[in-house]
Structure 1
Amino acid sequence: MNEDMCKFFEVVWTDFPDTLDDDGNYQFKSDDTYQTYCINETCNNDIDKINAWCLCLLNLIFGNFESFTGYAKSNMNNVQYILAWLSYILSRKPNEEISNLKKFYEKYIESGEGYETSIDDVSDYYSSYKNLIDKKNDFMNMDVNYISTFYEAFKILCSMYNDINSDPPDCTKHFTKTKEFVSKYQNLLNNNNINTKDSPYSQILSTLSTDYTNFKSYCAEKCNGCDNIPPLSYIEPNPFVQNSEDTSSSSSAASKLIPVISIFVAIPILLGVAYKYSLFGFDKGLHRQYLREKVKKIKKKMNNYI
């Protein structure tokens, strides 16, 4: 994760919110960003449009040599966030044909147009979008509620990046939002499926922890007061198993690698102090227009590769 990816997601959340309207329908507020990714340039239903948005995100983050070498190569886990977004969106509204992420994969990704796209000079990392997704295929069988909480934590983290990169930079919200992030992280931590360090549940916790730590460093470069952001620290579990029935619950927890949230006493933060400008420095309208043009540019490049 980095600030660029969060800027891309900000456009998605604005043009295609992850909440339903009052009538229980998806809110496709703008067609000009995703429509070039519709199958045969036509999206016949909501799931087709969601598929187009998914391809749009993949193209933005992994879709050309420049973007791939810029940050995707160094963080292949970005695909986890795209899949988490996709799972969350699909879970918002029941659909008889596409009821979960695995069903979506079987219809749209497994042999679907666009996902076999390959980019020159990055074959050492992945051969196609499908290959990239297949490397994270554990997502297909994970608890949808767990993925949703993971997505919500990711969204909080991204919103902190976007606050700092707003014009002017907003350095007043991150401490409150880190508390929200810690709460989501703790919910993930308490899941019974986190039983080994190699489980997919533990792996996405590790992804969140790493990206949270990276945000702390990024925040320190942009704002004052970031030293007060609470850390996520780890302790080793108790290696001994207790036999008492009264302590069976705690022994189960002790068999896991348990992250412990260490929240320091809050020190009042100097609000509104920032000493660097954001990467782009646009207002939201111009920022969205910039990213839409980037989508079109990438699509044109992609056509040249095919």
Structure 2
Amino acid sequence: MNDDLCSSFVVLRYYIPEELTDTAKRNFHNDSDFKKYCPNENCNTDLEKITIGFLWLLGQYFTKYPNKGHNVNDIKPFFLYIILWLSYKLNQNQEHKTTQINDFYTEHVINNDKYSNFINDSSKFTNLNEFIGGQKDLLKINIKDLSKFYNASKLICSMYGNVATNTNDATPMKTAILISKKLRLDFYGYLDNILLNTQIKVI
């Protein structure tokens, strides 16, 4: 993970405030980057704006780090942070009526013609469908449970931001790396427990 990736979340917060009580500093429909995800400018509900934010982050993920020559260690945390952000925002919203990211993606992205531009252009994002399909275990975790990890991922991003502005001291970078590793270990340990419990229930 690095400051360049984390800056995507900083930009997004200008359009989609982190908390429900906050006010957006910028308008979605005035920005061409977001406008292309809903060209008819009829995405006005909070859920629709959250969906656009998610699609934009996915676009950042695949355009900044194409399939060939990417840094795997950077990409995996970034996708995880995207899902944690989405879970956090969906947990604040009651419109979607889904409990898993997988269901939300199917019902509100794939099956929604408002976002047809993204679906039609997704071929330029190398192996997007294959990639999403490969994340089934992650995307089947309860949204409320996933949202609990968001603040930790935000803390890590802020630490990487501090590192980027402090090039003379290696300590912040080492600290950020250690905390990032701990978050991933805690998260994937949690994921393993979820999968184990699911298997036990099925048996």
State the TM bucket, normalised to the shorter chain.
Answer: 0.5 to 0.7
1:110 is matched with which residue?
A: 110
Q: For the structure 1 residues 193 and 108, does the alpha-carbon distance in structure 2 shift closer, same or farther, using more than 3 Å as the test?
A: closer
How much has 1:187 moved relative to structure 2?
Answer: 10
Query: CA 1:62 to 1:185, structure 2 compared with 1: closer, same or farther past 3 Å?
Result: closer
Task: Sort the Cα spacing of 1:195 and 1:56 in 2 relative to 1 into closer, same or farther, 3 A.
Answer: closer
| Deviation (angstroms), 1:158 | 0.9
Quick check: 1:87–1:144 contact (8 Å CA) kept in 2? yes
User: Residues 97-133 of structure 1, C-alpha deviation per residue, up to 9 Å, x if partnerless?
Assistant: 456524421223334521451127x4xxx1x3x3322
CA offset digits 1:191-244 (Å, max 9, x no partner) = 776449xx59xxxxxxxxxxxxxxxxxxxxxxxxxxxxxxxxxxxxxxxxxxxx
1:79–1:133 contact (8 Å) kept in structure 2: no
* Aligned residue in 2 for 1:49: 49
3-state SS in 1 of match to 2:43: coil
Q: Which one-letter code corresponds to 1:136 in the other structure?
A: Q
Alignment of 1:156 onto 2:155? yes
TM alignment of 1:8-157, pairs within 5 A: 8-21=8-21, 27-30=23-26, 31=28, 32=31, 33-38=33-38, 40-63=40-63, 67-68=65-66, 69=68, 71=70, 75-77=74-76, 78-95=78-95, 97-98=97-98, 100-112=100-112, 113=116, 114-115=118-119, 117-119=122-124, 122=126, 126=127, 128=128, 130-157=129-156
SS of 1:37 mapped into structure 2: coil
**Secondary structure in 2 aligned to 1:162?**
helix
Q: What is the CA distance between 1:28 and its match in structure 2?
A: 3.4
Where in structure 2 are there 5+ consecutive unaligned residues? 197-203
Cα deviation, 1:273-303, whole Å, max 9, x if unaligned, reads xxxxxxxxxxxxxxxxxxxxxxxxxxxxxxx
- Give the whole-Å Cα distance in 1 for the aligned partners of 2:191 and 2:15: 35
- Give, in whole Å, the separation in 2 of the partners of 1:157 and 1:96: 29
Residues in 1 aligned to 2:65 and 2:184: alpha-carbon distance in whole angstroms: 33
Q: Is the 8 A contact 1:54 1:86 kept in 2?
A: yes
> Looking at both structures, which has the greater relative contact order when contacts are Cα pairs under 8 Å and sequence separation is at least 6?
2
Deviation, 1:141, is 2.2
Per residue, is there more helix in 1 or in 2? 2
Distance between the aligned counterparts of 1:162 and 1:172, measured in 2?
13
- Taking structure 1 as reference, are residues 40 and 99 closer, same or farther at Cα in structure 2, changes over 3 Å only? farther
Gaps of 5+ in 1: 201-306
How far, CA to CA, are the matches of 1:13 and 1:4 in structure 2? 15
2:99–2:142 CA contact under 8 A, matched in 1: no
> Percent identity, aligned pairs only?
27
CA separation in 2, counterparts of 1:97 and 1:6?
29
Displacement after TM superposition at 1:157 (Å): 1.0
* Equivalent-residue separation in structure 1 for 2:69 and 2:191 (angstroms): 34
Conserved? CA contact 1:16–1:28, under 8 Å: yes
CA RMSD of aligned residues (A): 3.9
- Report if aligned partners of 1:15, 1:28 keep a CA contact under 8 Å in 2: yes
